[in-house]
Structure 1
Amino acid sequence: MDAMDSCKRCGTCCRKGGPSLHAQDHALVEKGLLNRSDLVTLRKGELAFDPIQDQVLPLGNELIKIKGQGKSWVCRFLEPTHSCRIYDCRPVECQALLCWNTEQLEAVYDKDRLTRADLFAPESGLPAIIEEHETKCPYSKVLELAEQAVAGKGNSIKELAALAEYDRSLRALLVQKAGAMISELDLILGRDVLATLPALGLTLVRKDSKTYQVIRSKKQGMGPGRALWKP
């Protein structure tokens, strides 16, 4: 084996973001090897880095990823020693990734991705809630309004604040009435709308249900896609 053709345990790939999950990873969730609190949904329309096209694009379909550490996208299972806490049951993307040859990962990257429909049974009531959320607060609309707000057009701030308030209220309802854990909401409903706006060049700071402070800023880095690293 060539000296370059082996894992150096540098942790670079893990620091570029946790993997997206695929149908083959469903068993990891079913068996509790991956908890709901470990996962986040990136919704259809959200901007994410596509490593195959090497650019940030709106997602054509939702995907589920392992969360990062704190506010970063560094995989939450990466240890300071660069080891992986779930190495023996790591998801299929991690198994396929060889940093010196990404062909295996590219072959599975956009195939059979796991979605919320795969994880939540209809009888739980969550699919109906998710469908309502996607209908009333689609991310494509969030993106459209955020772009208009940055440009200072029309009533976009007011409309965007209304979407953010609906999103916030539904999250609170799921916790108070349905017993959902706060840490599970990133999976059930995707990321809080307000948390996604800084990447679009806009920050809304909630004062109360009718008042938001508006801060326009430079777009922050888009980091939610699973980056491929080639030496």
Structure 2
Amino acid sequence: MNLFQIAAVEIGQHFYWSLGDFQIHGQVLLNSWFVIGVILIIGISTTRNLQTIPGSGQNFIEYFLEFVRDIASTQVGEESKQWVPFIGTLFLFIFVSNWTGALIPWKIIELPNGELGAPTNDINTTAGLALLVSLAYFYAGLTKKGLGYFTKYVEPTPVLLPINILEDFTKPLSLSFRLFGNILADELVVAVLISLVPLVVPIPLIFLGLFTSAIQALIFATLAGAYIGEALEGH
């Protein structure tokens, strides 16, 4: 098997859209748009009529904002305020994506090829999110220190240059594969158990999947903040 055959290996079946000479994963886009729509509906419905004494919806949004601010301030530090929207968006998109995969029976919707599921169970989505994090921490470092940011690669000694460069390549890889692997494995386990045993038996595993899905969103957002904070601090 040559390299081109290895590159063509896929997990499961996929529904593609053709855009010129490119093929796009249609089911990933459909699910991503659905997740974005859910987030927009919740955000607009809970903030369109803000009150001095907040109701339940406004309370939820304010709690979420404080939660993200805590993550940003803990990981990024003094300059965390400007990074709250970025970290909050990452957390919210991943959280809602993971939960839609665990709660919604996507398999009942038939596609010409492939099947629907959480956007985060596709490596393309998680790799894209990880690359956004990489761009963010490079932007943070270059904005604060200019080209002097790259001196970190030869500190404390130029001998560490290859290792420091390799570290920047492993960060997005670890982020993307950790999220992708956990969400895909969770959905596969639940799907297999439902096909083998009555529906009541996998219910505890579904609740466990919801918990681990939330933890994965928290880990991704926390690591994103930590990488940005590291770029700003320079060590």
Same fold (TM over 0.5): no
Greater helix fraction, Structure 1 or Structure 2: 2
TM-score (norm: length of structure 2): 0.28
* Larger Rg computed on CA atoms: 2
